[in-house]
A = this chain, B = another copy of it.
């Protein structure tokens, strides 16, 4: 019959950001066994009495200094293969965090070292545990949600221009988008972009500035190629 088996519970974070014209993920170098010196997703044990969203927000704050108000964090999936951690039964609830470019990461308490790594360079490095799979799932979730949600803005500081938003889509999806059609699309969906009335000039004609609007979902969605 069902015997309850105690497990250890962790939260791991797929922290994505668009930096240096690239989709990057925050990795930490593990200081302790198992997988000492290997790169891994930031994360840690869920503390006594702590809810999962709290644990994820706490780990994110420890690693990046971001507080939960400024970033998007959502639960991704839970990974519980019996053999995923050699120490025993450790189950992790992975979360996806999208942050705007935070500059250099703060060294966290558990982490010997933290670094932003372009996601396309990750397959070269061996990540600890099943973190490569978790990362792949997180990236796919982010790509998919850009289509129908207002998450692109979470990867940008506020306010932002339509061109900056388009660049986020292009970088995350890895395909180029027509500036005119993208502009028509995002400005045409009610509640998606909130015009500030301000403009910002960098090169060329000044661009209007927007903040994320109240619409959580985009209907109809912005479609990527198949």
The chain A residues found within 8 Å of chain B, CB to CB, are 1-9, 44-52, 75, 77-82, 91, 93, 109-110, 219-220, 223, 226
Determine if A52 and B80 form an interchain contact, defined as CB atoms under 8 angstroms apart: yes
Q: How far is the CA of A109 from the CA of B5 in the complex (A)?
A: 19
Residues on B with beta carbons closer than 8 Å to the beta carbon of A47: 2-3, 5
Query: How many copies are assembled?
Result: 2
Name which residue of chain B comes closest to A49, CB basis.
Answer: B82
What 4 A-B pairs have minimum CB-CB distances, sorted nearest first?
A: A6-B6, A52-B80, A78-B78, A2-B45
Are B78 and A93 closer than 8 Å at their CB atoms?
yes
Taken together as a complex, chains A and B put the C-alpha atoms of A87 and B187 apart, in Å, by 52
| A51 to B84 Cα, complex, angstroms | 10
Using Cβ atoms and an 8 Å threshold, which residues of chain B touch A75? 77-78
Question: Can you give 30 contacting A-B residue pairs, CB < 8 Å?
Answer: A2-B44, A2-B47, A3-B47, A3-B48, A4-B8, A4-B45, A5-B8, A5-B9, A5-B47, A5-B48, A6-B8, A7-B7, A7-B8, A7-B9, A9-B9, A9-B80, A9-B91, A48-B82, A49-B82, A50-B82, A51-B82, A52-B78, A52-B81, A52-B91, A75-B77, A75-B78, A78-B78, A91-B91, A219-B223, A219-B226
- The CA of A52 and the CA of B9, in the complex, are separated in Å by 14
- Alpha-carbon distance A143/B7, docked complex (angstroms): 33
Tell me, in angstroms, the Cα distance from A81 to B3 when the chains sit together. Answer: 22
- Docked Cα-Cα span, A90 to B95, in Å, equals 19
Instruction: For A45, give its contact among B3, B44, B78, B91 (CB under 8 Å).
Output: B3
Q: How many Å from the CB of A93 to the closest CB on chain B?
A: 5
Question: How many angstroms from the CA of A77 to the CA of B74 in the assembled complex?
Answer: 11
In the complex, A219 Cα to B223 Cα: how many Å?
9
Q: Which residue on chain B has the smallest CB distance to residue A1?
A: B109
A91 CB contacts on chain B under 8 angstroms = 9, 52, 91
A5-B9, A219-B223 known; 15 new pairs, CB 8 Å cut-off, are A2-B110, A3-B45, A5-B45, A5-B48, A6-B6, A6-B7, A7-B7, A7-B9, A9-B9, A51-B81, A75-B77, A78-B78, A80-B93, A91-B91, A220-B223
